[in-house]
Each structure stands twice: as C-alpha cells, then as structure tokens.
Structure 1
Amino acid sequence: FVVCLGLVLGAGSIGISQMTALNLALLLTAAWWLLTTLPLLKSYKQLYYVEVEKHAVRQSFARIGHTLRHLPEDKQVFWFLLAFFCYIDGVYTIIDMATAYGTALGLDTTGLLLALLVTQIVAFPSALIFGRLSNKYPSAKLIPVCIAAYAGIAVFAFFLTRQWQFWVLAVIVGMFQGGVQALSRSHFAKIIPPEKSGEYFGLFDICGKGASFLGTMIVSVGSQLTGSANVGVGSLIVLFIVGFVLFRVSCRQGETA
C-alpha cells in the first residue's frame, strides 16, 4: 500500500500520468497476491473435504440446500450467523464509506489516501495484539468488545465535525478492524462441524458479503431524511446493537447445548 500510494501521489514527479500510476498499482497488487499465495500453495493441506466423482455442481447445491434446511437445528451457529450478518455489515460500511465521509468533511484525495494508510498501519499491530489476547481469552469475550468499540465509533462519527477528528476515527477503526474479522472467523471455525466446513464457511462468506447493502441503505436513508452525513453514519449503531444482542444469544445457546 505504501509503495502504491507513493506511486500514485508521485506520478507527476516521475513523468507518468495518474491513470498509468493507478494501473501500475493494480499490477503491483496482483504480483503481491501471487507471491504471498505461493507459500500457502506449497504448505497447505485440506483436512476436511468431500470427494465428488461426478455431478459436482449438482451435489454442491444439494449439500448447501441440506445445510440450509438443518441450520436452524444448530442454534449456536444459526444465531451467530445472524449476529455476524448485522455487525460485520456495519464494519464494512464504515470502511467502504470512509472516503465519502472524509470528502464531506473537506479532505482532498491525498488526505483520504493518507488516512487509509494510517488505518492500515494501526491495524497491523492491533491484529497481532488481538492474536495474543485470543490465547488468553476466548473469542466469545473478545468479539463483544470489538462490537462495542464499533458502536462507539458510530457514536463518535455522529459528533464528528472537524478533519482532525476524522484522523482519530481512522486510528480507532484500525485498532479493531482486523481483530473483529479474524476473531469472527476463528470463533465460527470452533462452533461448526469440521466435516462441513466448506459449506458452512460458504454461508459465512455470504453473510459477510451479502449483508453489504444493509449498512449502506441505513446511512443513505438517515442522510437523506436529515440532510446530515453524521446522522447517517451514526445510525449504524443500530446494526452493532442488534449484532451484539444476537451474539450473546448465540453464546448462551452454546452454553446450553
């Protein structure tokens, strides 16, 4: 990100257009993904999988249908997916709409890119810290902390009026961004049947990506009705409150199972 950012911001000084710099940044990103994937391809081994000799597509949909029909029977997983659907959508909405919110506060393109860089820099050590904490405390206790922190972020965004406050917001988001995502995946892996990890994580991904419309809709409706971007972003607290409550329900279901 630092290299790509330097390339884009310094395009004029090295004699290329910004569009060319953006294209080069995309190529660099693709090369980065390729290089970091090679060690995984070499060392990774799939432990749980289903061997399919023919009609693979049909059988895949059949297994997904079977999982969906029986999902409500596993109440802990069912309630967790509902919780994840809510709170992770709030997280993704804050990340996706950060640039639009910064623009509304008067930040130029350079300022927005630097704010995103700050978020990533903070997220790296924060993710390591949450990794250490997960060795001492169960994810069932750490995830609510992250959800509550994001609820606080939504409240802070409601009162945000100055550019320096946006930078503070970028730092706080970075502190919990990696933690809530990694802890959610880890927690989900612990509560699902290992032999069905493929289809269950398929549902997990659908809940994460498929929920992306909800937070954006809440922000848009709140902003349009009130004429204030602050109210729109602050309205995301609803998703975090609902997600927090549903997650606690999931944990109680796990304790009684």
Structure 2
Amino acid sequence: MGKTKRAERSWVLYDMGTSAYSVVISTAIFPIYFRSVATNAGVNSADATAFFSYAVSIATFILAMLGPILGTIADYRGMKKKFFTFFTGIGIISTVGLLFVPDDNWLLLVSLYVLTSVGASGAGLFYNAFLVDVTKESRFNEVSSKGYAIGYIGSVIPFIVCIAIIMLASNGTIPISTGTASKISFLITAIWWLAFTIPMLKNVKQMHFVEREPKIITSSFRRLYGTFKEIKQYRTIVIFLIAYFFYIDGVGTIISLATTYGTSLGLDATGLLIALLAVQVVAAPFAILFGKLSNKFGAKKMIYVGIIIYTIVCIYGLFLDSLLDFWILAMMVATAQGGIQALSRSYYAQMVPKEKSNEFFGFFNIFGKFAAVLGPFLVGITTQITGHSSFGILSLVVLFILGFIVLMFVPDQEVKEQSENITIS
C-alpha cells in the first residue's frame, strides 16, 4: 500500500509542474507576450488573435494524429515511461528555447510555442494513461480530481513569482523590460515543470501492459487495426468519446484563448493576469468538490453540471466589456474547469481495458485534440469575419450543447460491466 500511495502522490505532483506550463505559457503570460511581439511587428489585434488560434490548432492536430499510434506502442512493457519522458523533455527544452527568440520575430516565437505544446500534450497523453497504474479503480475519480486540484494550487506559486517580476519591470522597480520579464517567467516555468517531473520518473511504474512482441511497430499497427475491427465491443466508449469531442473542445478553447480574448477587448493585462491567478486558487477546491460529489451523484451528472456552466460562460462572454465582467466570467470558469476535466479522465479510465490503457487514451487524446483543432479555428474564423472576439466565443455554445446531447446516450450502468467484460486482444 505504501508503494501505491507513493505512486499516487508522485502522479499527482506532476500536475503541479505541467499546470505551471498551462497557466504561464498556454493561458496567461505567453499569449499576452505574443500579442505584444506581433503588434510591434505590425500585426493588427484581430489577426494576432487568429494567428495564435491557428498555432493552437496546428499543435493539437500533430498530437491528434500521433496519439493512437504512440499509445498502442506504449502499451508494451516498459514503453509508457519512455514516451512520457521523451515528450516531457521536448516540452521543457522548447519552453527554455522561448527565451532566445528575438523580440521582433513573432513567426519564430509562435512556431516554437507549437513545439512546447506538442511536448506538453504528448506527455499529458501518457500521464493520463498512468492513472490506471497508480491506483485502484474505486479511487479513479478522487485521485484524478486531486491531480487537477494540486495542479491549480502548485501552479499559483510560480505564477505569482512571474506576475511579480512582470509588474516590477513594468513600473520600473527593476531595470528590465516587460519582454525580458516575460522571458524570465518562461525559464521559471521550465524549471518548475522539471522539478515536479522527477518524482513521477522515480516512483511511477507501468503496472498494466502487453508483453513485447517481435517488430513492435508492425505489431502495434496490427493491434490498432484489431481494435478498429472490434469497435462494436466498445460502443459505450465510442459514444462517450463523441460527446467528449464536442464539450472538451469548448473547454480547451476557452482555456487557451482566455487572455488573448480579454486583451483583444482592450482589458488591462495586469488585471487579466491577477484574475487568472484567482482562477487557479478558486479552481482547486472546486476540483476536489466535483470529485466528492461524483461519489454521491455520479461522474456523468457532474460532467453535465460543468457543461451547463461553460455554456453560460460563452453566452455571458458576448456582453463582456469591462474587467469586472472578465472577473465574473473567470470565477464561473473556475468552478467547473478542473472538475469537468478530472471527471472526464477518470470516467473514461473506468471504461477502458487497463492493459490497453495507452492505446485507448490515445483515442481519448485524438478526440480531445481534434476537437481542439476545431474550436480555436472556429473562434479565429468567426472573429475575422465579424471583427469581434465576442462572437467567436459565443460560437462555442453549439459545441457544449452537442456534447450534452450525445453524453445522454452513454449508458450509465454499462460502464463498469463493459470494462469487466472486454476481452483483451
């Protein structure tokens, strides 16, 4: 039991590292820094929003295509940790690389951002799949929710440090530019991410696996093809993934474009960063709350709650025109953001055969990533057509509605039964 608890803690701690990347690079400081660099290079506000959206789409498309193939290979004994280490290394190294991009080269900057995103997302695929290795099924919801909660809490520390450096630079207290301060924040993020990866590398092991075969790449494609042939066995999983495709699209798009959206409306950058810091603090207890409530009401019902909250967020965003409105919107997001992601992960983990967890989380990844291609692209196109970011955010409502409807067709009582009855090929 001691090893199990150590593995759980190490798995949860990794979220502290990768969450720092999510808030500093994906959500808060880097998008503002990119907009500043792009604007200085003569790119107008609407185009900067669109270009950043396209970059998010490119990064997620790459991992969407690779996910099931890499996941199937990683199901072999000892391969999951190797893939996790490889992608984490790419993410951390390319995050450090952001420091060395010239201040006027927005194209190189956004290109390197794509590489950081590929590393973080690729590592996340295998990190999610490790859930079945670190704890028992009855604790999936609780441990998954703790991961998100600890991630939010842990990411607050480097985020505060980064914001403080940027604010001190902006008011002249320290003799550096805000651009240099932003680059320092990227370095802090990379170091923090690396530090909380170490326990994961030391203490988490692949407990469920497929024994290695000769020519593992050829064998992996054969197994992947076999899964497609047997797709009727996985009806519940397929329906859930379709629902997940729609609603997680909206969630991911709002997370990745939050500050870009706020700055496009002319809101103060410092105020936006403080609001996002508050989101991290508020989201932590709500992630735990979603996990606790799922034990009473079920994960599926709590996912419905998250979808409804996000739908309201998109509608309210149409009327956003002040920092107060952004704060209200941010607090609404905070109540649902961690919960809907954590319970989606644990709900799915209960469905899949554990020996093929990487392969199936590869599909989880491909549905989530292809969705994330559609969402930012939809926002970018709508923003350019209308000239208003608000209409781009509003367009995401249809995705939440579709996700809600399709999720209704996931049979509640079949999830556990199907997980027990699936034959491992």
TM-score calculated relative to the size of structure 1: 0.90
Q: Is the 8 A contact 1:126 1:176 kept in 2?
A: yes
**How far did residue 218 of structure 1 move?**
2.6
**How far did residue 228 of structure 1 move?**
3.3
Letter in 2 for 1:194: K
C-alpha distance after superposition, 1:75-132 (max 9, x if no partner): 1100111111111010111112212221232213222222221221221221122222
Q: Is the 8 A contact 2:237 2:348 kept in 1?
A: yes
1:6 aligns to 2:164 (yes or no): yes
CA distance in 2, matches of 1:253, 1:243: 19
Please name the residue that 1:117 is paired with: 277
CA distance in 2, matches of 1:101, 1:24: 24
Letter in 1 for 2:338: G
CA distance in 1, matches of 2:197, 2:380: 37
CA distance in 2, matches of 1:253, 1:136: 15
Q: Is the 8 A contact 1:77 1:191 kept in 2?
A: yes
User: What count of residue pairs does the alignment treat as equivalent?
Assistant: 257
- Aligned-residue CA RMSD in angstroms? 2.2
C-alpha distance after superposition, 1:22-56 (max 9, x if no partner): 33322222222222222223332322112225422
Q: What's the secondary structure of 1:249's corresponding residue?
A: coil
Q: Is the 8 A contact 2:272 2:323 kept in 1?
A: no
Q: Is the 8 A contact 1:8 1:22 kept in 2?
A: yes
Aligned residues: percent identity?
Answer: 46
CA distance in 2, matches of 1:253, 1:82: 18
Q: What's the secondary structure of 1:13's corresponding residue?
A: coil
Q: Is the 8 A contact 1:105 1:161 kept in 2?
A: yes
Alignment counterpart, residue 175 of structure 2, candidates 12, 15, 19 = 15
Q: Is the 8 A contact 1:84 1:208 kept in 2?
A: yes
Unaligned regions of 5+ residues in structure 1, if any?
A: none
CA distance in 2, matches of 1:68, 1:99: 40
CA distance in 1, matches of 2:359, 2:189: 29
- The more displaced of 99-108 and 84-93 is 99-108
Please name the residue that 1:237 is paired with: 397
In structure 2, relative to structure 1, the CA distance for the partners of 1:107 and 1:220 (3 Å cut) is same
TM-score calculated relative to the size of structure 2: 0.56
- The more displaced of 224-233 and 25-34 is 224-233
Please name the residue that 1:74 is paired with: 234
1:157 aligns to 2:157 (yes or no): no
Letter in 1 for 2:280: Q
In structure 2, relative to structure 1, the CA distance for the partners of 1:21 and 1:58 (3 Å cut) is farther
1:210 aligns to 2:363 (yes or no): no
In structure 2, relative to structure 1, the CA distance for the partners of 1:150 and 1:237 (3 Å cut) is same
Letter in 2 for 1:96: S
